[in-house]
Structure 1
Amino acid sequence: MHIDLTGKTAIVTGSTRGIGHAIAAGLARTGADVVITGRKQDDVDRALASLRSAAPGARVRGVAADLGSAEGFRVLTAAEPQADILVNNVGIFAVQPFAEIPDEEWTRFFEVNVMSGVRASRAYLPGMQRKNWGRIVFISSESGLNIPADMIHYGFTKTGNLAISRGLAKSLAGTGITVNAVLPGPTLSEGVQDMLGSGGDRAAAEKLANEFVREHRSSSILQRVATTEEVANMVVYACSMQASATTGAALRVDGGIVESIA
Structure 2
Amino acid sequence: MKIDLTGHTALVTASTGGIGYAIAQGLASSGATVILNGRSEASVERAKARLSAAVPGAKLTGVAADLGTAAGVDALLTALPPVDVLVNNAGIYGPLDFYDTDDATWEQYWQINVMSGVRLSRALLPSMVNRGWGRVVFISSESARNIPADMIHYGVSKTAQLALSRGLAKRVAGSGVTVNTVLPGPTISDGFADMMKDEVARTGKSLETLAREFVMAARPSSIIQRAATVDEVANMVVYVCSPLASATSGAALRVDGGVVDDIV
* d(CA) in 1 for partners of 2:32, 2:64: 20
Out of 230, 241, 244, the position equivalent to 1:242 is: 244
Q: Which amino acid is the alignment partner of residue 207 of structure 1?
A: T
* d(CA) in 1 for partners of 2:205, 2:33: 33
* d(CA) in 1 for partners of 2:200, 2:11: 28
Show the counterpart of 1:185: 185
Alpha carbons of 1:52 and 1:203: their partners in 2 closer, same or farther (altered >3 Å)?
farther
Show the counterpart of 1:231: 233
Aligned length: 262
- Normalised TM-score (structure 2): 0.97
Question: Does 2:77 match 1:77?
Answer: yes
Q: Which amino acid is the alignment partner of residue 243 of structure 2?
A: M
Structure 2: gaps spanning 5 or more residues: none
Are 1:129 and 1:177, in contact at CA under 8 Å, matched by a contact in 2?
A: yes
Are 1:178 and 1:248, in contact at CA under 8 Å, matched by a contact in 2?
A: yes
Structure 1 residue 199 displacement after superposition: 7.2
Identity of aligned residues (%): 59
Q: Which amino acid is the alignment partner of residue 97 of structure 2?
A: P
The alignment partner of 1:86 has SS state of strand
* d(CA) in 2 for partners of 1:49, 1:189: 19
Write the deviation string for residues 135-190 of structure 1: whole angstroms up to 9, x where unpaired. 00000000000000111111000000000000100111111000000000000001
The alignment yields a C-alpha RMSD, in angstroms, of 1.4
Structure 1 residue 95 displacement after superposition: 0.9
The alignment partner of 1:129 has SS state of helix
Structure 1 residue 20 displacement after superposition: 0.2
Question: Does 2:206 match 1:208?
Answer: no
Show the counterpart of 2:222: 220
- Normalised TM-score (structure 1): 0.97
Structure 1 residue 249 displacement after superposition: 0.3
Q: Which amino acid is the alignment partner of residue 148 of structure 2?
A: P
Q: Which amino acid is the alignment partner of residue 163 of structure 2?
A: A
Show the counterpart of 2:170: 170
Structure 1 residue 126 displacement after superposition: 1.3
Show the counterpart of 1:102: 102
Show the counterpart of 1:260: 262
Show the counterpart of 2:63: 63
Question: Does 2:156 match 1:148?
Answer: no
Structure 1: gaps spanning 5 or more residues: none
The alignment partner of 1:94 has SS state of coil
Are 1:194 and 1:200, in contact at CA under 8 Å, matched by a contact in 2?
A: no
The alignment partner of 1:127 has SS state of helix
Are 1:193 and 1:200, in contact at CA under 8 Å, matched by a contact in 2?
A: no
* d(CA) in 2 for partners of 1:34, 1:198: 34
* d(CA) in 2 for partners of 1:197, 1:164: 35
